[in-house]
Structure 1
Amino acid sequence: MPEPHEDRRPLAERIAAEIRKAIMSGDWEPGRRVPTNEELRTQYETSNVTIQRALQILKDESFLKGKTGVGVFVREDRAQTISPAHYFAPSEPGQPYRWLSEATKRQQRSKYRMLEVGEVVPPVEVARALRLEGGGTAMFRSRIGFLDDLPAELVHSYYPIELARGTRLADRRLIPGGSPALLAELGYPTRSQEDAVAARPATTEEYEALEIPRDVPVLEVFRVVYSNNEKPIEVTLVVKPAHRFKMGYRIETP
């Protein structure tokens, strides 16, 4: 029989993990005052120093906020659920990209900032998804999205070069209505998409761009978009800070 897997993390990290889960699930409501150190010390049967370390971890990760002379409180904002299905269809003519319009519905300020555009040899998994021959290039578009002036997602998108060259996909400017609208205009309407979601530590690029606190992981969505005849027309990697977002999916049964 294999040995049972034991949590050997320091106790402060284990306590922080329990409190973090309570905050993410909503059991500890936004703005709630955290129990006193003495109450937590009694609950977890540990020292005051360990409790202080656990709370400092969560302060560093922006889950908790200390108010001098008052106490420690749960952050005011809940983890936000993002539903990819809301952005699936192209925007209506003259309307902004759905990521932006959906933010407006939630009464959030939103914007994108372009980081890089150009022809590149994509990563192996992207090349495989786009069905590129060895050494084939793709059009690369990188941008960062902000919600209420906070970095919310880092987006790397790749397009077949024969489809993108000479179009707005090769332009450094933002695309009115977003890429789904432009692709539809080019004769490649979106018919389906596949998402693979992973959680992992942030790279340096992601850590800096998304202002990741401490060791908070990121959520990565690897998305392949298909047009007519199952032709792959876009591969996008969306990376979001896991302490602020959840991914939401609704599946209809036949």
Structure 2
Amino acid sequence: MTVPRPEADAVDRRSLHERIAADLRDEIMTGDLAPGTGLPSTARLKERFDASNATVQKALHLLKEEGLVVGRAGAAVTVREHRQRTVRPAAYMAPARAGEPYRWLSEHARGGSRARSELLEVGACRPPADVAEALRTEAAGEVLRRHQLLLVDDEPVELVSSYYALDIAAGTAMAEHRKITGGTPALLAELGYPPRLSVDRVSARVPTQEQYRALRLPGGLPVLRTLRVVYSDDERPIEATVMVKAGHLYELQYEFTPE
């Protein structure tokens, strides 16, 4: 029988420059190194991490590739402004009012950002197994998928695939290759399927090739994958959406009301 090794004996097998970047990345994302703040000097970082100048520069290069800091060799390196975004899922659940844009777009507009979406593909497909289970679809059955890329200030930020049972989506605007005013939540409500409950399952994963290219991801950082299932009356699942975003640029904020 193999006895698990104590956590104290665990070895961090990453190279030193990756470990340095990881510690600095955490301080940037928690706000200890706020936007506009200069990083400690190379000399101080060398002393702190017992590293060579070249190793420190390799760590800073990783952070620059990720867009977390700016600066050039031999000059001060500064934490980049407005890189981390907070996603508030509760703000997007209710359908948009008549004539208003999809709530994801309006929420970003209120924050001073220019948000838009690119519809990449619409059509019937066999969904991933977890989506099929969520929609209570036959294992080999097809559903409708609307696949799009979301951009903020012309930067790709989220790859989204939304899936719908064919008996709900067939013959509606959802099945057409065009954008829907107010988004699909508004259309579903009009069709008699108002959202009553939204359930998120969030995981961190290594990005697929498509996700890596579409989101222009740096290095080997993970992505956040959210499977959101929306239920209507009688607890019927009406929409299952897979949302993938860069893990180092986002945090999710969930709001709860005690019962």
1:70 to partner: Cα distance:
3.2
Query: Is the CA contact 1:26–1:78 (under 8 Å) kept in the aligned structure 2?
Result: no
* Runs (5+) with no aligned partner, structure 1: none
Corresponding letter in the other structure for 1:116: E
> Does structure 1 residue 133 correspond to structure 2 residue 138?
yes
**Which ranges of 4 or more aligned residues in structure 1 deviate by more than 4 Å?**
none
Match of 1:147 in 2: 152
Match of 1:41 in 2: 46
Using structure 1 for the length normalisation, give the TM-score. 0.96
Match of 1:205 in 2: 210
Rounded to whole Å, the distance in 2 between the matches of 1:129 and 1:180 is 17
Query: Is the CA contact 2:67–2:83 (under 8 Å) kept in the aligned structure 1?
Result: no
Rounded to whole Å, the distance in 1 between the matches of 2:195 and 2:224 is 24
Rounded to whole Å, the distance in 2 between the matches of 1:251 and 1:207 is 33
Q: Once the two structures are aligned, what percentage of the paired residues are identical?
A: 47
Match of 1:160 in 2: 165
Match of 1:3 in 2: 5
Rounded to whole Å, the distance in 1 between the matches of 2:122 and 2:38 is 46
> Does structure 1 residue 235 correspond to structure 2 residue 237?
no
Q: Secondary structure at the match of 1:116?
A: strand
Match of 1:250 in 2: 255
Using structure 2 for the length normalisation, give the TM-score. 0.95
Query: Is the CA contact 1:97–1:176 (under 8 Å) kept in the aligned structure 2?
Result: yes
Rounded to whole Å, the distance in 2 between the matches of 1:127 and 1:101 is 30
Rounded to whole Å, the distance in 1 between the matches of 2:128 and 2:87 is 26
Q: Secondary structure at the match of 2:55?
A: helix
Q: Which among 70, 88, 92 is matched to residue 83 of structure 1?
A: 88
1:218 to partner: Cα distance:
0.8
Query: Is the CA contact 1:157–1:235 (under 8 Å) kept in the aligned structure 2?
Result: yes
1:69 to partner: Cα distance:
5.4
Q: Which among 200, 210, 216 is matched to residue 195 of structure 1?
A: 200
RMSD over aligned Cα atoms:
1.2
Query: Is the CA contact 2:68–2:83 (under 8 Å) kept in the aligned structure 1?
Result: no
Match of 2:23 in 1: 18
Q: Secondary structure at the match of 1:71?
A: coil
Q: How many residues align?
A: 254
Q: Secondary structure at the match of 1:30?
A: coil
Query: Is the CA contact 2:134–2:229 (under 8 Å) kept in the aligned structure 1?
Result: yes
Q: Secondary structure at the match of 1:67?
A: coil
Q: Secondary structure at the match of 1:249?
A: coil
Rounded to whole Å, the distance in 2 between the matches of 1:134 and 1:209 is 28
Query: Is the CA contact 2:156–2:216 (under 8 Å) kept in the aligned structure 1?
Result: yes
